[in-house]
Every structure is written in C-alpha cells, then in structure tokens.
Structure 1
Amino acid sequence: MGIVDLSKLPQADGWMTTADGFDVRAFLLANVTVGEAAALSLLFWPEFVEYRDCVFLGALFDKRSVDTWFEELKGDRSAVENVVNHLHLWDVFAPRSESEYAILPEVASRVAAMWRAALRDAFPAREFVVAVLGEEGDYGPTVSFRSA
C-alpha cells in the first residue's frame, strides 16, 4: 500500500500546494460533515458480529441470510464468511470521473489494511484472510475477509 496520490482528483483542485502537498485537514473541514466522517469510520474500522463460530461485518450481517448461506454452502464457515463479508466499493461510492475510478483500488487497499487491524484488535487469538479483488470483469474493487 503506497501513498494515495490525490493530485489528479477534481476535488483536490485548489487544495494542493507545491511546497506542502495536500492539506487534508483543510479539505475535510470544508467538505466533510461529522455525520459523513462517522459513517466513513464504520467503513474503515467496522463493527463485527460473532455468529455460529464465525465473524461478520456488522453492517452486512443478516441472520436469516447467513443461515441460508450455511445451508447452501453445507456448513463451510470460511466460505460463508467469504460470501457475506465482501463489500463492493461501487456499492458505497459512486465515482464521477476517470480519476476517481483510478484511485478506488487504492482506497480498497486502505480499507483492507484497516479491516486487518480491526480484526486483529477485536479477535487477537484468531487469524483472518483479508482480500482485495478487482480483476477485469469483477464488480469494481471489492474487499472481503474470512477466517484463515
């Protein structure tokens, strides 16, 4: 995971300085509400639900759906987690320019890194696999996790 280059984004126009780079504090102050920041914090550092010896993203957890996946996948806990715990970033963000489409994979990498840290923090005795998908034909950058 490298440095996110915001210089090509239309929203960054006027917020860049040649000496100091991007002033993230000024940009956020002018463009992001506290409510938006709170919602983003749940994306980047999610809450989790434990159910049937599995871990699920709290925002995506639906008991009936999980039970259906357990039946469909013949009790394979890791497979159920993988199906339920995937988030297509296109379902959360609506890119409006080519530069936004181009930077979304970097956002996905950062989401994955934070999910790894949040899972380690919440479940220090468990191991997880956090993945970023985004190959041609996929539904945009996708972050998922399952138990290892």
Structure 2
Amino acid sequence: MKIINSIDSVSSPKYEQWKSQWRDQSELDGLSYISDVVHPEDALMFCKVLFPDFVFHESGVFLESGFTVEAYSSWMKNCNNDVVAVEKLLNHTHLYDVFGGCTDRVDEAVYEQLCRIVAQSWRMVLLSKFPERKFCVQAIISDQEYGPVVTFSQVRE
C-alpha cells in the first residue's frame, strides 16, 4: 500500500493540545478533531476562500470579492494597461486579513501551511473554470509582505 498525500503534513498546536486530553490517542486523527471541534458552518464558509468566485472583466480574471470596475480602471492606468500586473495586485490576498478577527495567538507555520493549501486549491479551481487559460498561482511567504500571501495572474504566451 502506498499513501499519496494531497497536501503536506499539517502541524497544528491547537490540534496537539486537543489530542493531549485523550488517554488513548492511537485512533485520533485530523478527522476526529474536526468531528469533535469544528462547526460545519465554519468549514462551509472557509470553502469560499478555497473555492472563490471570479469575475472575468475585459481580458482579466479576478477574485469576485472586492473587485470593482473603478479599482480595475485605476490600476490599469497605474500599470500602463498591463492586465497581468493588475491581476497580481487585485488578486493579492493576505492570509492575516482572511483571519483578521482571530484574536488567538496562531503559530506562523499555520498561516504558511494555509497559504500553500489555498494556492493549491486556486490552481485546481482556475484550471476547472478556465481550462483554456494558463495561470501562475503564487504562495508568497516573505518578510517583505504582511504575512503569507496568495495571488494569481494569467500567463501570457
């Protein structure tokens, strides 16, 4: 038997703390944690991050959340009508902002893992919704950013 992982191994201090309360941990896994702690509505709402809605405007593809024609037009002027540059800017999503209301201390590694998972999901969704187009989806983990960032733009040939 060979196990093929869809995502890298997940490390979660919160999960480890939850797991430590059980005497017999041999059968506990991430699904056990979800069954015990995670509310289905929270999981459903997070799917909007993993599987976002898009706007196709002129020749660009953008995240629907936060997209306005006014912002698009303004950035097109600032970027010399470079649609790819505008896509990168308007689709730039800070994971810290996605969880802006979270007041708990969250390990940076958790945000970094989420960043990579969101990027992987966006790659799949973009391929599904726009099979005739090529995209570059980036998971950016850099000291130059306000936390981990996911963005995407089309690859022009």
Q: TM-score, normalised on structure 1? A: 0.86
Distance 2:28 2:72 in 1: 45
2:1 matched to 1:2? no
Give a deviation string over 1:9-51, Cα, whole Å, max 9, x none. Answer: 1354233664234242x43344333332222001011111100
Aligned to 1:61: 67
Distance 1:144 1:45 in 2: 14
Aligned to 1:72: 78
Percent of counterpart pairs with the same letter?
Answer: 26
Q: Is the CA contact 1:49–1:57 (under 8 Å) kept in the aligned structure 2?
A: yes
- 1:28 partner letter: I
2:60 matched to 1:48? no
Bigger proportion of residues as strand: 1
Distance 1:38 1:10 in 2: 20
Counterparts of 1:1-148 in structure 2, within 5 Å, are 2-6=8-12, 9-15=13-19, 18-24=25-31, 26-93=32-99, 94=102, 96-97=104-105, 100-148=107-155
Instruction: Return 31-40 or 109-118, whichever deviates more.
Output: 31-40
User: 5+ unaligned residues in a row in structure 1: which ranges?
Assistant: none
User: 5+ unaligned residues in a row in structure 2: which ranges?
Assistant: 1-6
Give a deviation string over 1:91-148, Cα, whole Å, max 9, x none. Answer: 01247335x2222111100000000000000000100000011211310000000001
Task: Give SS of 2:137's match.
Answer: strand
- 1:14 partner letter: W
- 2:48 partner letter: L
Bigger proportion of residues as helix: 1
- Which contiguous aligned blocks of 4+ residues in structure 1 show a shift greater than 4 angstroms? none
Considering only aligned residues, what root-mean-square deviation do their CA atoms show, in Å? 2.0
Task: Give SS of 1:13's match.
Answer: helix
CA 1:44 to 1:23, structure 2 compared with 1: closer, same or farther past 3 Å? same
Q: Is the CA contact 1:133–1:142 (under 8 Å) kept in the aligned structure 2?
A: yes
- 1:96 partner letter: D
